[in-house]
Amino acid sequence: MSDGVVDLSLIDLALVYGLVLFVAGLARWNGIGQERDLLWSSLRMIAQLLTVGYLLKTVFSLASPVPVLLILLVMGGFAVHAVGARVQERMPRFHRVVGISLFIGCFGATFFFCTLVIGLTPWYDPRYLIPLAGMIIGNSMTGASLAAERLAAEMKERRLEIETSLCLGANARQASAEAVRGAFRAALIPSINAMAAMGIVFLPGMMTGQILSGTEPLLAVRYQIAIMCVITASVAVTTFLILIFGRRGFFTRAHQLRLDNFTK
């Protein structure tokens, strides 16, 4: 590791975990509750992070693209599943639309950044590829959920507007333009807010992590700016594709709004 990093031993870790135990004990003693959840979630965190740590250590040492791609694939699959679990009102052909859109958006943004911009060697270098792709997929997943959720809601809320437009000669694309715009806006708001607040309201995690591990602050800032741009692009592309593919599912080929498709 880099020179400036202070080692954290298991004893140090035990001391820190003592804080959680202390807080849990305090909660118990005062009868304000939550101590079970506190302990359970802290244990889950330890187990999950240790697993990830060992997994990454193994993958780093293997120096082969196969496990790296496998991990990315699992992350992507999990993202599609998570979007499906979060969205109540599903559009037609939900999983296919979300899967394809996430894949194109995230793969495109990650490839652009890792290969064309920073030029990783080897191209699959897991130290960069896994955390960067993780951030890109995670943010795109949030955008995808918002877009899918809002699109279905907008289609429902704007039914009168959409059908009035159809009656007046609009095609499906024209009739649903406002609905798509509303959904796009909703999906991009988190990225826009995050960019606007960055550095003032909070110091972003990746930058903080790089600084802690000894990276020169200005370089860490550059990385943060780059990753935010890439994330925003990925979110926008994913969302845009979901809306464009998704919108079709709400109409028949005869420019009719499907009434039976507002289902789970």
Instruction: Give the three-state DSSP class for 261.
Output: coil
| Span interacting with other proteins, options 61-69, 91-99, 156-164, 184-192, rule CB under 8 A | 156-164
CB atoms within 10 A of CB 200: 7
Axis crossing angle, helix 177-197 with helix 126-157, rounded to the nearest 10: 140
DSSP state of 239: H
- In the bound state with other proteins, the residue whose beta carbon lies nearer, of 41 and 256, is 256
* Least distance (Å) between residue 167 CB and other proteins: 4
User: Does residue number 171 form part of the binding site for other proteins (CB under 8 A)?
Assistant: yes
Contact 238, 102 (CB under 8 A): yes
Out of 23, 153, 170, 225, which residue is the one contacting other proteins (CB under 8 A)? 170
Distance of alpha carbon 131 from alpha carbon 72, whole angstroms: 10
Binding mask 226-255 for other proteins (x = CB under 8 A): ----------------------------xx
End-to-end CA distance of the chain: 50
Quick one: which of 142, 174, 215, 261 contacts other proteins (CB under 8 A)? 174
Q: Is 260 in the site for other proteins (CB under 8 A)?
A: yes
Reading the block at residue 241, the tokens are 């594709």
Question: What distance in Å separates the CA atoms of residue 137 and residue 76, rounded to the nearest whole number?
Answer: 7
Number of residues lying near other proteins (CB under 8 A): 18
191 and 139 Cβ atoms separated by less than 8 Å: yes
Q: Which lies closer to other proteins via its Cβ, residue 3 or residue 260?
A: 260
Show the tokens assigned to 13. Answer: 């870790």
Among 1, 85, 167, 200, binds other proteins (CB under 8 A): 167
Residue 179 in contact with other proteins, rule: CB under 8 A: no
Closest CB 178 distance from other proteins, rounded Å: 9
Taking the C-alpha atoms of residue 263 and residue 234, their distance in angstroms, rounded to an integer, is 28
CB of 89 to other proteins, least distance (A): 15
Shortest reach from residue 151's CB to other proteins, in Å: 20
Please give the residue ranges that form the binding site for other proteins (CB under 8 A).
160-161, 163-171, 174, 254-257, 259-260
